[in-house]
């Protein structure tokens, strides 16, 4: 039997799409020359390969690389009842120096998690093809609230009653957590990056201009997460990733975690925190002091996925020595700062660079804690 999480070395979840997969997705969705069954066959083969790559690197938790998705969040959201993703002439997300394609989420009806949500089968495929712990990452509940514009909510109750909207999102995610558990998932990662976004002074100002209190939003997002996962069985671990944007090696937000740290660590009920820490944009390590003593674990992302340069192991050891001044070293681990391809376009690195980064994650865990599952 594989060892159980949490692990000292882990990954956020997404990987660079291989050339054959990119070509197949283009043939299916742009050229309309490939059937759904033919695309699935290509996806299946690529996912088995990326699982083997993760296992070979020494990781004990593996994902499907998000190979069946275009986005880290919109695919999951668009598969919910009552939410659709539409392509528009405007609405692209602005990163530093580059924009995404203009896919936009809209609320078309009452929100719900369908019993046949495709990502349940996505998880089962990984489970069937790995000898270690299968993991799937899904976007957090805040993604729906943060990313859907008020004008794109076509349900009067949600548009005019914020609490009804928050509660509908929470119920949807609570059902999702139960469904993934029933599918065999014991390690679910819920990426809730908007806690970090709401630490950015510019984004905080934008939200205030819309009549929203960013600190209140942080607390309300934490409550949504807590209420969605609070009834999970004891043998299900929940991880949460936070970053400041990741698209073609660029970023959106900046700012230390201080405004959100207490809510994140003490109000969400999450077990494992994947926290971006590869640049000064993330601020200092001082917020780690708010991590409560016990079994919770933080995996600081000192290893970047945005550039190819490989971090120095001795430098990483020094960073963990500093981090241990704020949180017990026994409550720490290592993971990359983000995924390698939060969207299908991927970051500006190679597959060889990606592999070396994974191997460094494992070597770091072995050097500091004596092993991945120590």
Per-residue pLDDT reduced to its tens digit, 159-201:
999 999 999 999 999 999 999 999 999 999 999 999 999 999 9
Q: Which of 238, 226, 222 is closest to 181 using CA atoms?
A: 238
Three-class secondary structure of residue 58 per DSSP: coil
Percent of the chain whose pLDDT exceeds 70: 99
Q: For the chain, give the mean pLDDT.
A: 96
Q: Which of 316, 312, 308 is closest to 335 using CA atoms?
A: 316
Burial class (CB in 10 A: 0-12, 13-18, 19+), 149: exposed
Q: What is the predicted pLDDT for the residue at 264?
A: 98
- The C-alpha atoms of residue 220 and residue 214 are separated, in whole angstroms, by 10
- The C-alpha atoms of residue 284 and residue 363 are separated, in whole angstroms, by 24
Neighbouring-strand partners of residue 303: 336
Per-residue pLDDT reduced to its tens digit, 99-149:
777 899 999 999 999 999 999 999 999 999 999 999 999 999 999 999 999
Q: What is the predicted pLDDT for the residue at 246?
A: 86
Q: What is the predicted pLDDT for the residue at 42?
A: 98
CATH no. of 59-369: 3.20.20.210
Domain extent listing, the chain: 59-369
Q: How far is CA 261 from the centre of its chain?
A: 17
Total length of the chain: 374
Per-residue pLDDT reduced to its tens digit, 214-265:
999 999 999 999 999 999 999 999 999 999 998 888 978 999 999 999 999 9
For 341-372, b/e burial (b = at least 16 CB within 10 A) is bbbbbbbebebebbbebbbbbbbbbeebbeeb
Q: Answer whether 365's CB lies under 8 Å from 374's CB.
A: yes
pLDDT at residue 10 above 80? yes
Three-class secondary structure of residue 52 per DSSP: helix
- The C-alpha atoms of residue 265 and residue 88 are separated, in whole angstroms, by 37
Q: Answer whether 245's CB lies under 8 Å from 95's CB.
A: yes
Percent of the chain whose pLDDT exceeds 90: 93
pLDDT at residue 1 above 70? no
- CA atoms lying within 13 Å on the CB side of residue 143: 27
- CA atoms lying within 13 Å on the CB side of residue 24: 20
Q: What Å distances lie between residue 249 and 45, 55, 112, 252, 337, CA to CA?
A: 26, 25, 33, 11, 12
The answer to whether the predicted template modeling score (pTM) of the entire model surpasses 0.85 is yes
Rounded to the nearest 5 degrees, what angle is found at the Cα of 263, between the Cα atoms of 260 and 267?
A: 165
pLDDT at residue 354 above 90? yes
């Amino acid at each position: 039997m594989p060892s159980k999480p949490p692990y000292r070395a882990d990954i956020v979840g997404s990987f660079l799409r291989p050339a054959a997969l990119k070509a197949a997705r283009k043939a299916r969705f742009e050229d309309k020359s490939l059937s759904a069954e033919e695309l699935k066959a290509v996806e299946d083969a690529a996912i088995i390969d990326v699982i083997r790559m993760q296992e070979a690197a020494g990781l004990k938790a593996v994902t499907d690389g998000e190979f069946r998705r275009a986005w880290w969040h919109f695919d999951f959201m668009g598969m919910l009842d009552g939410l659709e993703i539409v392509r528009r002439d405007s609405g692209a997300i602005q990163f530093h120096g580059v924009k995404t394609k203009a896919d936009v989420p809209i609320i078309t009806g009452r929100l719900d998690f369908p019993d046949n949500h495709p990502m349940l089968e996505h998880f089962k495929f990984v489970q069937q093809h790995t000898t270690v712990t299968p993991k799937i990452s899904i976007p957090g509940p805040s993604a729906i609230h943060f990313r859907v514009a008020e004008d794109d909510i076509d349900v009067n109750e949600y548009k005019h009653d914020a609490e009804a909207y928050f509660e509908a999102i929470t119920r949807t995610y609570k059902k999702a957590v139960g469904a993934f558990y029933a599918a065999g998932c014991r390690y679910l990662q819920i990426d809730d990056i908007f806690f970090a976004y709401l630490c950015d002074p510019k984004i905080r100002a934008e939200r205030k201009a819309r009549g929203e209190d960013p600190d209140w939003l942080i607390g309300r997002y934490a409550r949504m997460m807590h209420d969605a996962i609070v009834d999970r069985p004891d043998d299900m671990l929940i991880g949460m990733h936070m970053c400041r944007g990741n698209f073609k090696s660029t970023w959106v937000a900046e700012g230390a975690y201080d405004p959100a740290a207490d809510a994140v660590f003490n109000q969400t009920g999450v077990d494992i925190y994947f926290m971006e820490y590869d640049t000064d944009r993330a601020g200092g390590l001082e917020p780690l002091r708010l991590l409560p003593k016990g079994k919770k674990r933080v995996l600081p992302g000192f290893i970047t996925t945005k550039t190819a340069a490989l971090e120095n192991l001795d430098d990483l050891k020094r960073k963990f020595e500093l981090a241990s001044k704020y949180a017990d070293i026994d409550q720490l681990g290592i993971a990359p700062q983000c995924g390698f391809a939060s969207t299908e376009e991927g970051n500006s690195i190679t597959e060889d660079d990606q592999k070396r980064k994974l191997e460094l994650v494992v070597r770091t865990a072995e050097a500091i804690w004596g092993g991945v599952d120590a």
